[in-house]
Amino acid sequence: MQFNYNVLICLLGFFSIAPFAESQPLRCADVSMLDELELGGAVYTSRSLVGDALQILQKNGLNSIRLRLFHTPTERRDGLPDMLELARRGHDLNLKIILNLHYSDTWADPGTQQKPSAWASLSESALRDSVYAHTYQAIRALTEQGTPPIIVQTGNEITNGMLWNTGRVGGSYDVPAQWDKLAGLLSAAAKAVRDASSALIMLHIDRGGDPDGAHWFFGNLAPYTLDYDLIGISYYPFWHGPFDRFSEVVRQLENRYGKPVFLIETAYPWTLAWKDNTHNPVGLPEHVLPDYPATPYGQAAFIRKLWEHVSSGICYWAPEYIAAPRFGSHWENLALFNFEGEVLPGASALGANAPTSSDAPAAPSPLSLFPNPARIGKSSVNIHLVNPTCGVIEVYNQLGQRVRTQTTLCRRDVTLSVSGLPTGTYWVRIPGMQTMPLFLVP
């Protein structure tokens, strides 16, 4: 039998992270905007009881949080003081810390990797020194307050490089000299991580549905024998495609490069509706995968399916990003809390990596509502029944009072009148006792 050395290397990589993950996958949430949302009036609940969003997520099984750090933020959030405070809050709940360094004053992703303004005119050598110092100082600040990170991302979605144009790759920058510069910057960051802590180093790209693109990036860096421990990828199915593409990326990266692969960013809609007037990038029927409807249970089923393709860890991006009274959101239909701030079944699916008693099965729900949430100006919502049901549909408010009834007439599709009902959360019950929440919003 021919021995597969790539498999051995990959297994050794998994064993090396076991002390940090306590032999369990990391069940993570990027909650970098939580403090600003709270200042904006966001309220989070579990079973209608108001609570701390971090504690609610932790009680649903999450064991880690990911925190973003900008160099000199142009807005209040994502600076060192805010990141340190969120780290303290997470540590108080025994949540592990993943530090996500953007090396920019603002968002860094495949479309933009702007240098911090303080570094704009630095030489390549001085830029490497600055990367080292910034990385080292951030880790030491976390460590000195008793919240050391277990993983440090040296850059965010650096598929096209970092610190443009010095470390830019791809397109007209896809030349050996640019890869040399990128490798030098990443080596400086890695040395800082090693000098400052025992944290693991993650290289993060966005190619969750592009096996060739993922191989292009790591293949070009392979000759440099960079010091890193983990590969992080982003996978958003509405941008990156179906599960089979994602699965192929994970398999190829682990086999070729011998590193554990983490799904470090993902999200899925629980509704195609919206709460506020901030434009949402996700909201069309084509943004939803077959068999995973944009419902709370469809979102949970999607998350459970992810665990079939990745075992190292999953980090959900911005589960707290609901629309607050003084803070708009373009992500509220992708959060793990509904429009009222109530935690959704997706949180326990992320935290448990397997169905729990509080989750619905992955099979299609016998009942679906559209639109849901519905605006109170609408006179009706559409009900679809998987199996035609004869009898009476009942609507209950949060006090358990029946506020509406309607006969189904033994059809699959029924129009339910909601005229006159105030805003709030309701429960729609069909014959056979199946129920589903209905949200009426202003």
Alpha helices in 291-405, H assignment, sequence order: 296-306, 345-352
Asked if 326 and 44 touch (Cβ cutoff 8 Å), the reply is no
d(CA 181, CA 131): 13
Sheet of strand 424-429, all strands in order from the earlier edge strand to the far edge:
374-375, 435-441, 424-429, 392-396, 402-407
What's the CA angle centered on 55, arms 69 and 335, to 5 degrees? 65
Residue with tokens 């129920």: 435
Contacts of 1 (CB under 8 A, 6+ apart): none
- Exposed, middle or buried, 95 (CB in 10 Å: 0-12/13-18/19+)? buried
If one counts every other C-beta atom within 10 angstroms of the C-beta of residue 177, the result is 7
What's the CA angle centered on 250, arms 246 and 253, to 5 degrees? 135
d(CA 24, CA 20): 9
Please list the residues that pair with 162 across neighbouring strands.
Answer: 167
Helix/strand/coil for 435: strand
Residues belonging to the active site = 157, 265
d(CA 149, CA 147): 6
Tokens of 435: 């129920």
Alpha carbon of 307 to those of 17, 21, 236, 353, 354: distances in Å?
18, 16, 15, 6, 8
Helix/strand/coil for 85: helix
Strands 380-385, 413-417: pairing is: antiparallel
User: Exposure string (b/e) for 399-429, b if CB count within 10 Å is 16 or more?
Assistant: eeeeebebebeeeeebebebeebeeebbebb
- Residue from 224, 290, 299, 218 nearest 261 by CA: 218
